[in-house]
Every structure is written in C-alpha cells, then in structure tokens.
Structure 1
Amino acid sequence: MSYYETMYILRSDLGDEVVDQSIAKYQGILTDQGAQDMDTQHRGKRRLAYPINKQREGVYVQMNYTSSGAAVAAMERAMRLSDEVLRFLTIKVDAPVAEAEAVEA
C-alpha cells in the first residue's frame, strides 16, 4: 500500500448536490478497492489559468489516501469517462506530511 494524492477539477456549472455526489462517487470507488486513511478537501470554485472545454472556472477537490495501484487505476478510469471532471492528477507521495515532519523532529 502506497500513499497517494489526487487533485481533480469538476465543472463549475454543476450544482452543489451534484458536486457532493461526484466526490462521494470517487471516494466510494477507492474504498471499494480497499483504500484507507482517506482525507478529502473541497477547495471550492476557482478561476482556471486557461479555458478547458470552454469552462473558465472549476471546482477543485483534493484527496489524500493510502491504497494500491489497482484502486488508483479504477478511479482514474472512472474520471476519464466522466463528463463532470475537467482534469485530474494523481501523484505517489513518499510519506504523509505529518509523518515526515515527525521523523525530521
């Protein structure tokens, strides 16, 4: 199990209820695949640096979790097929920030 961080951008024209359903959907995919220690941060609506699919704003969501690579692949596949997600990026983190700070101290 590795530690991952995923940031994705949802369309800004979605309602609050649809945004919450989308967040729950991707969290559900990860938990069904065995993800643990999930922390989700709803960053809110922000202006994009450049238009994506004629959208000037997007809703940013960040998820930090521990999971296997197969779970990440399943979630990214769902995001790729979704019309709600404008962009997403998943990175593998060496250690969570809180643990890394504790080790340095």
Structure 2
Amino acid sequence: MKSQFVQYETIYLLKPDLDEDNLLKIMDQYQGILLERGATNVLIENRGRRRLKYQIKRFRDSIYIQMNYNATGDVVGLIEKSMKINEFILRYLTISINQKANSV
C-alpha cells in the first residue's frame, strides 16, 4: 500500500549567531532532503530573527524558518530525525494542515 501525500508545515528555530552562508546551507539541506524523497510544492521561507518568549539553550533570539510541502509521513520522520541531531537547530515543530479547515 502506497503512503498518501499530506500537506505539512514545519517551522524550525536556528541559533541567532549563524552567518548567512551556514543559514543558506541548512535551508538548502532540508529542501534537498524533501525533493530527494519526492515531496512536492516545497516552499521555504526565512521568517527572520525574532525574540523568544523564553530562553532556549541560553538564547533569547532565534531565526525562524518555515517550510510548507506535500509529502508522506516517512519524509516528515526523516526530516525531524535530521533536525534532532543538528547542532544549529534549537527547536522544530511539524503539523499537518487539514484541507477541510482551509476550504471554509
């Protein structure tokens, strides 16, 4: 049985002291993983540096990156596993976007 594509949104928070080159490398890395694994409609947006409500690993600010894509649950698991071991990522969250809720 083939897995069905679902629309997902992943937001991840990067350390604020990253330089532009490393920031682009990380964004390209995750875009590459998505495309290699067959994800479609991949949209990645740098939401900029923002103040955190509370400290995360001694940081008060973070760089927010948002990814929207259609993929299977296996791809999401792979992305999150990679983010868990990435030393530059402070936090991440993936949600599935309910199509019916958007059609109102």
- Which TM-score applies when normalising by structure 1? 0.90
Tell me if structure 2 keeps the 8 A contact 1:3–1:96. Answer: no
Paired amino acid for 1:61: I
- Structure 1 gaps of 5+ residues are none
- Aligned partner of residue 83 in structure 1, secondary structure: coil
Deviations 1:59-82 (A, max 9, x none): 000011000001110010000000
- Structure 2 gaps of 5+ residues are none
Aligned CA-pair RMSD: 1.5
1:88 to 78, 88, 92: 92
Aligned positions, number = 100
Tell me if structure 2 keeps the 8 A contact 1:10–1:84. Answer: yes
Partner of 1:58: 62
- Which TM-score applies when normalising by structure 2? 0.90
Q: Which runs of 4+ in 1 moved over 2 A?
A: none
The alignment-based identity, stated in percent, is 36
Residue 42 (structure 2) pairs with residue 38 (structure 1)? yes
- Deviation of 1:95 after TM superposition, in Å, equals 2.0
1:49 to 45, 50, 53: 53
Query: How far apart in 2 are the matches of 1:95 and 1:23?
Result: 26
